[in-house]
Chains A and B, each alone.
Chain A
Amino acid sequence: MNQFQYVRPTKQKAAIDAFGREADTQFIAGGTNLLDLMKRGVMNPTKLVDINRLPLDRIDRDKGTLLIGALALNSTVAEHPQVRQLHPLLGQALSAGASAQLRNMATVGGNMLQRTRCYYFYDTAMPCNKREPGSGCGALEGYNRMHAIFGFSDKCIAVHPSDMSVALVALDATVLVSGPKGDRRIPFGGLHRLPGDTPQRDTNLEPGELITAVSIPDNPFTKNVHYLKVRERASYAFALVSVAAALHIENNVIRDARLAMGGVAHKPWRLTEAEKSLIGKLATEATFRQAADVAMQGARAFKHNAYKLKMAPNSIIQALKQAAAVA
């Protein structure tokens, strides 16, 4: 790991000021992804601003929202009574991610900012437009079985690895951000970017902007929810495909629905058209099949990930069935 300057401010403003204008500065919280990338030489910051002493780990209910501090640990949030009661989908998604040890380190803010696990991004001997803009995409014609089926570009076909983010985009969360130019709120769906011509930018955060919290509005999705994660082993692996499904069912009729997928795009992939197709219908497998068809429109596979074109709709159907408790 390269040398870097290390500072540990105790005030939010000091942390943002410490970020300065230096392009190579990074905030560090849990460090579970950043240190991994620094050891491999994928990221080489010259300055780390340790934000762990900032008072940003509270979880509070306020005016019809649940406010989760950016430094709340993944394990804490997953088991928090109000999260389990009000947003069980989020708890399920968090518990499906990483390992118990990593969840004790990883924070909510860091989880949503984790980088792709694309092999070509991680391997500094390979071309990667995300790591080194202009060097090319190794995955495009390479070993692309983990890669995107939606929203990719010819510059990058990587997928976003977070489980938590799939639940948060489904739950209409808002990200609270503080930066050199003040505070702002970003709807969760607008946090992450599609790769386009600038895959080096994962998110719409500006340099020096710090995520301070995520806010989730109250919703009726407290019972019929399911986070389905399909992976190569039963636990502790990134998703091939994951589905966050939330239904509000009355008398077997779907009144409202939320649906999002992970492992299929450069950002957590909200399926709004599929959601619309569910509303007003009976909670049956036939309804879910039709929603899966809608969800898959526009999907396109590469040489090694064509299996996702079947796995994704099947996972949507399965997740909806489990959410609705339909056998």
Chain B
Amino acid sequence: MADQNPDQHPTGPKPGHNGARRTFLKQSTALTAFALTPGPVLKAAGSAWDEKVAAAIEQVPLRLDINGKKYKLSVEPRTTLLDLLREQLHLTGTKKGCDYGQCGACTVHVDGQRINSCLTLAVMQDGKKVTTIEGLAEGEKLHPIQEAFIKHDGFQCGYCTPGQIMSAVACIREGHANSEGEIREYMSGNICRCGAYPNIVAAIQEVKNGGQKV
């Protein structure tokens, strides 16, 4: 299991912090510990104690498989899956468009299903398998949908493209790519402000009709 390396992720918790916090959580819940600590001790320890308690409340452990790699993480409960990917793990292929589930730029697969990563908390996905745009290609070999997007010019500025591609792969896998109309309906959760829709549909149709494994 590859623990998150704090050195590679400067925004992550500092070395040593994790272990102490986990032990602390194991012994009791933070709140109970706080309640059981005699007042004078708290007073004597001053603000340093408060910070430790606060940190214990704020961070929760989380295990995820992301693009085939196992992560043992520690996150604030309010961290969305999108922010975890981008800010903590620096997997910036997944884009933050609206951050309110209206544009689809943040689309990833969780246990094989496409979802908006901006509208789920990372902790809610504990133990799940996440695939992002970075996990789609096999080494240097692009995924057929990625190839088709290039061939059909399925983008202009490219910002929505990772979400479009993750959604397109799911659209075919779900069996919702049987006609132009069906593709448009089942891709409607991904907005492209450049208006590359006809080319996106063409790319999906080519892969679907080509019968390639997606």
0/1 interface trace, chain B 69-83, chain A, CB 8 Å (1 if under) = 000000011101000
Choose among A6, A32, A75 the residue that contacts B116 (Cβ–Cβ < 8 A).
Answer: A32
SS class of chain B's interface: helix, strand, loop or mixed?
mixed
Contact count band on B:
20 to 34
Do A105 and B78 have beta carbons less than 8 Å apart? no
Alpha-carbon distance between A80 and B78 when the two chains are bound, in angstroms? 33
Choose among B100, B114, B126, B184 the residue that contacts A101 (Cβ–Cβ < 8 A).
Answer: B114
Q: Closest approach, in angstroms, between the C-beta of B177 and any C-beta of chain A? A: 11
Report chain A residues within 8 Å CB of B115.
101, 104-105
Does B99 touch A at the CB level, under 8 Å?
Answer: yes
0/1 interface trace, chain B 132-175, chain A, CB 8 Å (1 if under) = 00000000000000000000000000000000000100110010
User: Given contacts A100-B170, A100-B171, are A32 and B78 in contact (CB under 8 A)?
Assistant: no
Report chain B residues within 8 Å CB of A5.
57, 77
Q: Closest approach, in angstroms, between the C-beta of B122 and any C-beta of chain A? A: 11
Q: Closest approach, in angstroms, between the C-beta of B137 and any C-beta of chain A? A: 21
Does B123 touch A at the CB level, under 8 Å?
Answer: yes
Do B57 and A235 have beta carbons less than 8 Å apart? no
Report chain A residues within 8 Å CB of B77.
3-6, 48
Report chain A residues within 8 Å CB of B76.
3
How many pairs, one residue from A and one from B, have CB atoms within 8 Å of each other in the complex?
Answer: 87
Do B167 and A101 have beta carbons less than 8 Å apart? yes
Q: Which of A28, A52, A101 has the most CB of B within 10 A?
A: A101
SS class of chain A's interface: helix, strand, loop or mixed?
loop
Does A250 touch B at the CB level, under 8 Å?
Answer: no
Report chain B residues within 8 Å CB of A105.
115-116, 119-120
Alpha-carbon distance between A62 and B176 when the two chains are bound, in angstroms? 31
Report chain A residues within 8 Å CB of B186.
100
A152-209 with Cβ < 8 A to chain B: none
Report chain A residues within 8 Å CB of B190.
99
Q: Closest approach, in angstroms, between the C-beta of A11 and any C-beta of chain B? A: 17
Residue of B nearest to A79 (CB): B174
Do A99 and B189 have beta carbons less than 8 Å apart? yes
Residue of B nearest to A104 (CB): B113
Contact count band on A:
20 to 34
Report chain A residues within 8 Å CB of B174.
100
Alpha-carbon distance between A241 and B199 when the two chains are bound, in angstroms? 32
Q: Closest approach, in angstroms, between the C-beta of B188 and any C-beta of chain A? A: 4
Do A36 and B57 have beta carbons less than 8 Å apart? no
Do B184 and A102 have beta carbons less than 8 Å apart? no
Q: Closest approach, in angstroms, between the C-beta of B34 and any C-beta of chain A? A: 13
A35-B80, A101-B107 known; 4 other A-B pairs, CB under 8 Å? A35-B120, A100-B167, A101-B189, A236-B189
Residue pairs across A and B with Cβ atoms less than 8 A apart, 16 shown, are: A2-B78, A3-B76, A28-B121, A32-B101, A35-B120, A48-B121, A50-B121, A100-B187, A101-B101, A101-B116, A101-B167, A102-B189, A104-B114, A105-B115, A105-B119, A235-B188
